[in-house]
Amino acid sequence: MEEEQILKAIAQCLADSEIADVDQYERLHFQIVMQDDVLHLYINRETDEDCDYQKLTDLLSSVIIDLEIVEPKKIWFYSRILGEVEPDWQTLIEIETDNLATVDTNKNPEIEQESENVPEIQLLASESLELESQKDADILVTVDGVEKEPEFDLAQYCFIRNQRLLNAELIPPRLNIAQLITTLDRFSEFNRRSQLLILEAYFLNATNPDLSDCDSEVKAWWTDILELSPDENRKLAIWLSRYCYNSEQTLAITEAVFAAQAAIDDAKKAASQGQAQAKNSSTTEYNPNLPISAAQGQDGDTSATSKRQNGKYRSKPKFFLNLALPIGWTLVTLIIVIIGINSAKSTALPTICDEATGDKSYCYLATEIVSEKILTESTQNKPAFKPESLDMSLEYCQIYGNIAAGFALKEASSYNNPLLSVSGEEILSGIYVVDVEQVSLEEESTTVRTVCIFEQTETTSWQKGINLLGMDQIDPAWPEVAYQPSEKQQSLNSLNQALGAYSFFSNFGLNTLFTAIMIYVLAISGMAIRADSLETIYQASFILGIVESILAYLPVIGWWVQVPLECIALGITSSCIKGFHIDWSAGYRFVSATALLLIVSRLLLNWLFLALLFKIFS
């Protein structure tokens, strides 16, 4: 073939050390394409080292002209790195036909001889394109006997690393992203080629584009891209990759987005026209016997007339019905808190002291210090009375009494500082009260009286057989002077009441309500949660709580596993509730951030609620 003869002539020419430096050119690969009277010669380099293109083009053009195998009017020279499609250097040489007539046809008689002395220069003919690079192998195709470059292939471009997103079912893109895709599709083939290469560097290497040589249309297009948020930028990369992978399907989706937006705009326009007509006719008295079609004035204005009958609205807006649950829950909470406060301040004598085995005044005092509820629970299933348990209670309370009087811990033993008085007895089954008095270390004229309440327990290797339920200082003149809890004891009582109320509210859906609140906040904040209504959020919160309770029984250790478990729980919930979705296309990191925000914010709400209860009971 003509191309092979030209390539052999080039190899023979480069092998002549008197004409060219073989070491410089032996790593070059050549390709030739003839199109009518134009010859295209591709110089493929194995490295990005620069060549002496002026010397090389003069040499190669003289070889081609001297051969007289072909008579091109123009010779295009291209240079590129092996493996690349686009050249990084090119030049054109126009050949005058007058010069061709004077060429000596026998100038290179050695071309036909065997080429044993030709160095191993790799030559790329059109029928032997077994190169390392597939892009170079496909550079020549035959159409109707004419060799030319292949058509522009979009499928070679991809701007994401997760290839599964190319054919996954995704939510249609937003309007601005759809417009950017269709704008790229309307570009000329040259602009699309160049911008797709720039997009690869922009998305994969985070390289900002150089727009100095671009036309105004391309600059405006890139300006819109650079103004996108990080989330929109990520979604643009996904949809541009899908466009390159399957342009017809992607363009059909963008057309559907435009059609949906047009329908929304038409509906808004019709609604605004209906509101204008309703405003103009507001001075006319409403006639309940008027047909709906006549009362509407337009087909699109059905919302206003459907709510009116006999001059009033038929039903309340759905929004207020959705708020009924949190409002009702809040009212019940306030009622229960008020009842709890009043019951805590009740002056009725505790009934548990009717079963007292000792002094009832100490029993009443114990209910004030540790509460009747704790005493009732502590008397259940107690072991048999042990005298040594009472002796141990006396010993421990003497230490507490000395500490309350101001003595240091190492001097609090009764052996070092004997107390003024010590007494103790069993007031209920397994419940001991110890009363000690000691002179104040700071004010010797003042007596400090301390009461301790213990419960009897089983003796183990780590437990001595008794457990302190509570203690506090009382007036030395008690019981003539009523017991007044110290500040520390008041705080402890308030905390116990707050924890009790919190436990009650937790059983009645406190965590579910907080979950619903945070799902709503995260959904409107643009995180990875999507919900179409408040009813859906309530349902999802309920199911999510059940799933989290089940996953809590998994044998996993560490706080760091809570985020993956929450992601799993959200995924299970989204598969159970229609209208509740997790945007997995945003990536696992974004979904994990959403799950982490849900966990942390829910803990914060629980802490704030517990603090509120503590403040109320204080």
**To 10 degrees, the CA torsion angle through 593, 595, 600, 605?**
130
* H or E segment and range at residue 290: none
CA separation for the pair 459, 466 (Å, rounded): 8
List helix spans (H) across 16-160: 22-25, 53-67, 97-101, 134-137
Check residue 242 and give its pLDDT. 92
Domain-wise residue ranges, the chain: 2-148, 155-259, 351-484, 504-617
Which of 404, 398, 434, 400 lies closest to 419, judged by CA?
398
Check residue 48 and give its pLDDT. 62
Check residue 439 and give its pLDDT. 86
CA separation for the pair 226, 489 (Å, rounded): 62
> What DSSP string runs through 344-406?
HT--SPPGGGGG-SS-HHHHHHHHHHH-HHHHHHHTTTPPPP-HHHHHHHHHHHHHHHHHHHT
Neighbours of 135 (CB within 10 A): 16
CA separation for the pair 524, 522 (Å, rounded): 6
Residues in Cβ contact with 514 at an 8 Å cutoff, skipping those fewer than 6 apart: 602, 605, 606, 609
Q: How far is CA 180 from the centre of its chain?
A: 25
> What DSSP string runs through 95-121?
--HHHHHT--TTS-GGGGS--TTS---
Burial of 432 (0-12, 13-18, 19+ CB in 10 A): buried
Check residue 438 and give its pLDDT. 86
Pair 394, 438: CB distance under 8 Å: no
If you search the block for the tokens 């989290």, which residue do you land on?
548
Pair 228, 238: CB distance under 8 Å: no
Q: Both tokens of residue 481?
A: 């002077």
Q: 47-86 burial, b for 16+ CB within 10 Å, e for fewer?
A: eeeebeeeebbebbbebbbbbeebebeebbbbbbebeebe
Check residue 183 and give its pLDDT. 92
Check residue 558 and give its pLDDT. 64
Pair 375, 355: CB distance under 8 Å: no
Check residue 545 and give its pLDDT. 83
Q: State pTM to two decimals.
A: 0.36
Which mean pLDDT values do the consecutive 10-residue runs of the chain (618 residues) have?
Answer: 78 65 68 82 76 82 80 86 78 68 36 38 39 39 40 81 85 92 89 86 85 84 91 91 91 91 87 71 42 40 42 44 64 67 60 83 87 82 75 86 84 73 86 88 83 83 75 87 78 71 70 86 90 85 84 70 86 88 89 90 86 75
Give how far Cα 61 sits from Cα of 71, 72, 179, 349, Å: 11, 10, 48, 117
From first CA to last CA, the distance across the chain in angstroms is: 101
Q: How many residues does the chain have?
A: 618
Check residue 176 and give its pLDDT. 92
Beta strands in 144-245 (DSSP E): 146-148
Q: Please tell me whether residue 296 adopts helix, strand or coil conformation.
A: helix
Check residue 577 and give its pLDDT. 87
